[in-house]
Amino acid sequence: MVASVGLVSLFSCSHLKPSSLRWFSSTTHKPKPSAIVGISDDLVREWILKEGKATKIIRISPVGGGCINLAGRYDTDVGSFFVKSNRSIGPSMFEGEALGLRLMYETKTIRVPRPFKVGSLPGGGSFIIMEFIEFGASRNNQSVLGRQLAEMHKAGKSDKGFGFDVDNTIGSTPQVNTWTFDWVEFYAEHRLSYQLKLAREQYGDSVIYEKGQRLAKNLKPLFENVVVEPCLLHGDLWSGNVSSDKNGDPVILDPACYYGHNEAEFGMSWCAGFGGSFYNSYFEVMPKQPGFEKRRDLYMLYHYLNHYNLFGSGYRSSAMSIIDDYLQMLQV
Ligand SMILES: Nc1ncnc2c1ncn2[C@@H]1O[C@H](COP(=O)(O)OP(=O)(O)OP(=O)(O)O)[C@@H](O)[C@H]1O
């Protein structure tokens, strides 16, 4: 039922960020500082020299690889800072990212960059300053990644149900995180239905909308005998957002966090390359729940729909065939 990742997907898979660009994306040369991160960086420098406790900024260099924001590395006498900026979007996007990074960081389970500061830029736009992580040359150990991710899911609990304190984005699509006590209701409304409405608005696609809504209203049988607890999710876990540090320890980046069913974390697994050792280690900490396989495509559907909305019709058939298969399986 899962569509294979073709050429189109490889390059648009997760927000146009081929993973190969990820591993070696830093370059070091010396253009004018403000040109590097695309902003007048006075506020960034000010923070680094005051709260960041640096006495000197030694070098500023651009970091490539992202699509939505401009990024730079600020080397100082107290270490390096990673800065992203966006000239047109206000601070809410980076506030969402910072909150997600902070909550993941506080679980002390898997390495994420520690967020330091989000600010607005004088002429509009915003920036985020976080810990700079030196990436290692090789991909991380899948088994450690699986275990640490499961530990994060286990540690990151919520007493408000499913959702998040702020809305954020998945790629550039808004992701609504209104707190909801029932997971099936949350996933149906704020994940599937939201994307289906977008597809109808953007493409006039009433076929996928109507079939998808029929599925969204009939998800309950897929959750029989399962207790779903809210877990802190990275939310956009694909290979481009997974790296490893110089010690070879896994690092996860660029999250779209919310509290959800832990299995929803595998919704991007069609672009993640998780192997057997990843899943074995994961399930040792977070045991597999009954019906896991039956729900796997349901969680991919959200991301396929998002890719359809972001990148166009190349993803429609994958989303449609998942919907059709479920409608047939559930006989609705
Ligand atoms: N904390 C960090 N330390 C060092 N490098 C980082 C850090 N976070 C991200 N990077 C590098 O910077 C690049 C851009 O970051 P990121 O992907 O978060 O950008 P973005 O534009 O916000 O996201 P998107 O890729 O979704 O457009 C990444 O490819 C990664 O290699």
Number of folded domains that form the chain: 2
What is the pLDDT at residue 78? 97
Q: What is the CATH number of the domain that holds 112?
A: 3.30.200.20
Mark which of 131, 150, 180 sits at the end of a domain: 131
Q: How far from chain centre, in Å, is Cα 93? A: 12
Q: How confident is the model at residue 75 (pLDDT cuts 50, 70, 90)?
A: very high
Range of the domain at 238: 142-330
Of 74, 83, 84, 245, best ligand 1 pocket probe by most atoms within 8 Å of the beta carbon = 84
pLDDT in tens, 287-320: 999 999 999 999 999 999 999 999 999 999 999 9
Regarding the beta carbon of 92 and ligand 1, being less than 6 Å apart is answered: no
Regarding the beta carbon of 191 and ligand 1, being less than 6 Å apart is answered: no
Residue 27 or 210, more confident: 210
- Say if residue 84 is in the same domain as residue 194: no
What percent of the chain is predicted at pLDDT more than 90?
Answer: 81
- Say if residue 127 is in the same domain as residue 208: no
SS (H, E, C) the chain: CCCCCCHHHHHHHHHHCCHHHHHCCECCCCCCHHHHCCCCCHHHHHHHHCCCCCCCEEEEEEECCCCCCEEEEEEECCEEEEEEEECCCCCHHHHHHHHHHHHHHHCCCCECCCEEEEEECCCCCEEEEEECCCECCCCCCHHHHHHHHHHHHHHCECCCCEECCCCEEECCEEECCCCECCHHHHHHHHHHHHHHHHHHHHHCCHHHHHHHHHHHCCCHHHHCCCCCCCEEECCCCCHHHEEEECCCCEEECCCCCEEECHHHHHHHHHHCCCCHHHHHHHHHHCCCCCCHHHHHHHHHHHHHHHHHHHHCHHHHHHHHHHHHHHHHHHCC
Token pair for 13: 């898979």
Interface confidence (ipTM) of the complex: 0.96
- 157-169 mean pLDDT: 97
- 258-278 mean pLDDT: 97
Of 83, 134, 253, best ligand 1 pocket probe by most atoms within 8 Å of the beta carbon = 253
Domain for residue 5, yes or no?
no
Alpha carbon nearest to ligand 1 atom 20, residue: 66
What is the pLDDT at residue 68? 81
Of 13, 26, 63, 310, best ligand 1 pocket probe by most atoms within 8 Å of the beta carbon = 63
With 80 as the cut, is the pLDDT of residue 4 above it?
A: no
- Say if residue 96 is in the same domain as residue 245: no
Regarding the beta carbon of 130 and ligand 1, being less than 6 Å apart is answered: yes
Regarding the beta carbon of 310 and ligand 1, being less than 6 Å apart is answered: no
Query: Cα(179) to centroid of ligand 1, in Å?
Result: 28
Q: How confident is the model at residue 237 (pLDDT cuts 50, 70, 90)?
A: very high
- Say if residue 166 is in the same domain as residue 64: no
- Say if residue 164 is in the same domain as residue 301: yes
Mark which of 96, 131, 166 sits at the end of a domain: 131
With 90 as the cut, is the pLDDT of residue 16 above it?
A: no
Query: Cα(218) to centroid of ligand 1, in Å?
Result: 38
Alpha carbon nearest to ligand 1 atom 1, residue: 132
Average pLDDT, the chain: 89
Domain for residue 172, yes or no?
yes
Query: Cα(289) to centroid of ligand 1, in Å?
Result: 33
The answer to which of 9-23, 74-88, 94-108, 119-133 has the lowest mean pLDDT is 9-23
Mark which of 131, 150, 173 sits at the end of a domain: 131
What is the pLDDT at residue 11? 35
Domain for residue 158, yes or no?
yes
Query: Cα(292) to centroid of ligand 1, in Å?
Result: 31
- Say if residue 217 is in the same domain as residue 318: yes
- Cβ atoms of residues 309 and 198 within 8 Å: yes
With 90 as the cut, is the pLDDT of residue 17 above it?
A: no
Query: Cα(70) to centroid of ligand 1, in Å?
Result: 9
Regarding the beta carbon of 97 and ligand 1, being less than 6 Å apart is answered: no
What is the pLDDT at residue 39? 64
- Say if residue 87 is in the same domain as residue 189: no
- 105-124 mean pLDDT: 95
- Say if residue 322 is in the same domain as residue 182: yes
- Cβ atoms of residues 254 and 236 within 8 Å: yes
Query: Cα(66) to centroid of ligand 1, in Å?
Result: 5
- 118-122 mean pLDDT: 92
Domain for residue 294, yes or no?
yes
With 90 as the cut, is the pLDDT of residue 325 above it?
A: yes
With 80 as the cut, is the pLDDT of residue 194 above it?
A: yes
**Backbone φ/ψ region at 125: left (φ over 0), alpha (ψ -120 to 50), beta:** left
This prediction has a pTM of: 0.90
Give the position, in ligand 1's atom list, of the atom nearest the Cα of 84. Answer: 22
- Say if residue 193 is in the same domain as residue 219: yes
- Say if residue 113 is in the same domain as residue 233: no
Task: Point out the residues that are catalytic.
Answer: 236
Query: Cα(101) to centroid of ligand 1, in Å?
Result: 13
- 197-203 mean pLDDT: 98
- Say if residue 30 is in the same domain as residue 83: yes
Give the position, in ligand 1's atom list, of the atom nearest the Cα of 21. Answer: 29
- Say if residue 161 is in the same domain as residue 216: yes
Alpha carbon nearest to ligand 1 atom 15, residue: 66
